[in-house]
Amino acid sequence: MEKLQNIANFKGPQGPLVLVIMDGVGIGKYAEGDFVKCAMKPNYDWLQTHAVYTQLKAHGRAVGMPSDEDMGNSEIGHNAIGCGRVFEQGAALVSNAIASGAIFQDTGWRQIADGVLQNKSTLHFMGLFSDGNVHSHIDHLEAMLRQAKAEGIQKARIHLLLDGRDVPPTSALLYVDRFEAFLQTLNADGSVDFRIASGGGRMGTTMDRYEADWRIVERGWKAHVCGDARLFASTREAIETFRKEVPGILDQDLPAFVIAEHGQAIGKIVDGDGVIFFNFRGDRAIEITRAFEEEQFDKFARGPRPNILFAGMMQYDGDLKLPKRYLVAPPGIERTMSEYLVHSGVRQLAISETQKFGHVTYFFNGNRSGKFSEALEDYVEVPSDRLPFEQRPWMKAAEITDVMLEAIAANKYRFIRVNFANGDMVGHTGSYPAVKIAVETVDLCLGRLMKAVKAAGGIMVISADHGNADDMYEHAKKTGATVNDELTGQPKPKTSHSLNPVPCFVWDPAGTAQLRLAAGAAPTEKGPALGISSLAATCMKLLGFVPPADYDPAVVDVG
């Protein structure tokens, strides 16, 4: 890879360029439920009139999703920000592979299906039970079950991780009832036995990420593999029981459960079985993959590891080759901003707390787990709290800021990138007071950073990967009216990401860059003209480099 070319009339700021990603902080469509708008955020508000400001797309086709009805998410958002272009993402790649039938001809599916047929064993499907299209989609699961029946596989067991995060927070039974009817149709002729075997809410069962809490994966292993969790006759019975015992519990927090007959689990995973983890997104799939694949494993006591065939929907980590077997190849993202900057001699710092650490490193670097240069890159992970985020909505924002202030003052790095996770992680809880505090916390940290950047002669770029805290109430699609809960009369909480644009501020307190909004960067009547993929070229320009010709255009011009 060649070095980036220098801009003739601008060499970059005296201090560092700081990219701040306010995770989950978008620009709301409705005043009701917009906890970004109602939060006390003097620094954000000041930037709107004193910095170069525009709006950016952060969902749908602008970030590689199949349609503009699909929300953005942190994984694809950081891919887009870090690589400066839009790649077709997992949701689109898997849907296309299923539509064409290619997925069922490729090596991954053939090895699993043929192995199960040869062993006369059980095919297990495990993953997020959702049509949110962020980690998975029910349509993909149903297509694979139809194909399994068509190929003569007689027994399948499904291990469901309930969502309530990328879909309405207590919608599980709507999906379960529909899916049970689907299974009943498949089972009707008596040729197959396809049933739900276990499950649990995604935040407490199986889907941990960045090794924040391996106990979550252990609960999933015990339920899915060992049949060791609370027993119920049906998924509906499990959900209804948990809701009666803990009124107000969200789907994402439901405990692990196992479906049993005569006191025995109906779907343990045993030698000779096949297992497909059908999430296409990698961050919350890696740890359970390691539990199935690693020979030497010390994160929890697995007991005897069954000798099975395992596949992921996609390869979740290309560097570590996890999993070894997968059904659809992930997007081939290369020539990311970090790689270009390393080849151009730019020293960089990436920092976040555990919950988003992989986003400012792995996903930002095009799904690459290692550094491009040990000499020029430093990564700092601040350990996240192990408790519900609504109980501590400030999370680790202050500690992250402390590290950044020291780095900015030392002028050790030319480029610093940070993710503040509060707006997203607390937004997913549906706790309105906590979300407001989360947004205000990020703003407080912005103010601290602004003082440091000004003192160092640096420049700040402040944006987001997608919205969330800006859209916390359910709204009727046709009228936009707030939807109230029938029992409480209060607005129904919305815990998923929004389809809203995100802000973009570029602030040069010293005025060295002579900033101006680039032609074509201002929003039009149809909405934002550019997407968050434009942040890469923006950062390159502000560092004094000419962006690659195929990068999406920068938000600002300099000099």
DSSP string, 440-508: HHHHHHHHHHHHHHHHHT-EEEEE-SSBSTT--B-B-TTT-PBPBPTTT-SBPB--SPPS--EEEEEE-
CA 474 to CA 353: how far, in whole Å? 29
Average pLDDT over residues 391-408: 98
Element (H, E) at 539: helix 534-542
**Interval 23-46: pLDDT, tens:** 999 999 999 999 999 999 999 999
Please state the pTM of the whole predicted model: 0.86
Question: How far are the Cα atoms of 18, 261, 551 from residue 21, in angstroms, in the given order?
Answer: 10, 49, 20
**Interval 190-202: pLDDT, tens:** 999 999 999 999 9
Residues making up the chain, counted from first to last: 559
- Give me 485's structure tokens: 């809960």
Res 486 pLDDT > 90: no
Q: Residues 27, 505: contact at Cβ < 8 Å?
A: no
Tell me what pLDDT residue 489 has. 87
- Give me 370's structure tokens: 């290692």
Average pLDDT, the chain: 96
Confidence of residue 230 (pLDDT cuts 50, 70, 90): very high
Tell me what pLDDT residue 68 has. 93
> Among 317-321, 449-453, 482-486, 502-506, which is the least confidently predicted range?
317-321
Average pLDDT over residues 94-106: 97
- Give me 89's structure tokens: 């993402």
Neighbours of 92 (CB within 10 A): 19
- Give me 168's structure tokens: 């309405």
Tell me what pLDDT residue 330 has. 87
Average pLDDT over residues 103-120: 98
Res 318 pLDDT > 90: no
Average pLDDT over residues 192-221: 97
CA 275 to CA 469: how far, in whole Å? 36
Residue carrying structure tokens 């708008």: 37
Q: What is the DSSP letter of 362?
A: I
Tell me what pLDDT residue 317 has. 86
Tell me what pLDDT residue 356 has. 96
Res 319 pLDDT > 90: no
Bridge partner residues of 527 (DSSP): 524
Which residue would you say has higher pLDDT here, 233 or 386? 233
Res 488 pLDDT > 90: no
Buried-exposed string 415-450: b where 16+ CB fall within 10 A, e elsewhere: bbbbbbbbbbbbbbbbbbebbbbbbbbbbbbbebbb
Evaluate the CA torsion angle 403, 408, 412, 413 in order and state its sign: positive
Q: Residues 329, 102: contact at Cβ < 8 Å?
A: no
Tell me what pLDDT residue 112 has. 98
Tell me what pLDDT residue 369 has. 84
Res 2 pLDDT > 90: no
**Interval 499-522: pLDDT, tens:** 999 999 999 999 999 999 999 999
Q: What is the dihedral of CA 534, 535, 541, 546, to 10 degrees?
A: -50
Tell me what pLDDT residue 206 has. 98
Name, in order, each residue with C-beta under 8 angstroms of 405's C-beta and a sequence gap of 6 or more.
448, 449, 452
Name the burial class of residue 476, with classes exposed (0-12), middle (13-18) and buried (19+) by CB atoms within 10 angstroms of its CB. exposed
Q: Residues 315, 321: contact at Cβ < 8 Å?
A: yes
Res 477 pLDDT > 90: no
CA 51 to CA 555: how far, in whole Å? 12
CA 327 to CA 309: how far, in whole Å? 13
Q: What is the dihedral of CA 128, 129, 135, 140, to 10 degrees?
A: 120
Confidence of residue 485 (pLDDT cuts 50, 70, 90): confident
Q: Residues 224, 306: contact at Cβ < 8 Å?
A: no
**Interval 419-467: pLDDT, tens:** 999 999 999 999 999 999 999 999 999 999 999 999 999 999 999 999 9
**Interval 325-382: pLDDT, tens:** 999 998 889 999 999 999 999 999 999 999 999 999 999 999 998 899 999 999 999 9
Question: How far are the Cα atoms of 55, 406, 466, 526, 532 from residue 62, in angstroms, in the given order?
Answer: 13, 35, 11, 14, 8
Name the burial class of residue 335, with classes exposed (0-12), middle (13-18) and buried (19+) by CB atoms within 10 angstroms of its CB. middle
CA 233 to CA 111: how far, in whole Å? 33
- Give me 209's structure tokens: 């990420």
Neighbours of 295 (CB within 10 A): 5
Average pLDDT over residues 1-21: 95
- Give me 330's structure tokens: 């992930």
Average pLDDT over residues 233-248: 97
Confidence of residue 478 (pLDDT cuts 50, 70, 90): confident
Cα 381 → chain centroid: 17
Report the amino acid identity of residue 523: P
Can 74 be counted among the known catalytic residues?
yes
Tell me what pLDDT residue 99 has. 97
CA 50 to CA 505: how far, in whole Å? 9
Q: Residues 276, 216: contact at Cβ < 8 Å?
A: no
Average pLDDT over residues 244-265: 97
Single out the catalytic residue among 67, 74, 100, 352: 74
**Percent of the chain predicted with pLDDT > 70:** 100
Tell me what pLDDT residue 48 has. 96
Domains in the chain with CATH codes: 5-89+334-557 (3.40.720.10), 91-328 (3.40.1450.10)
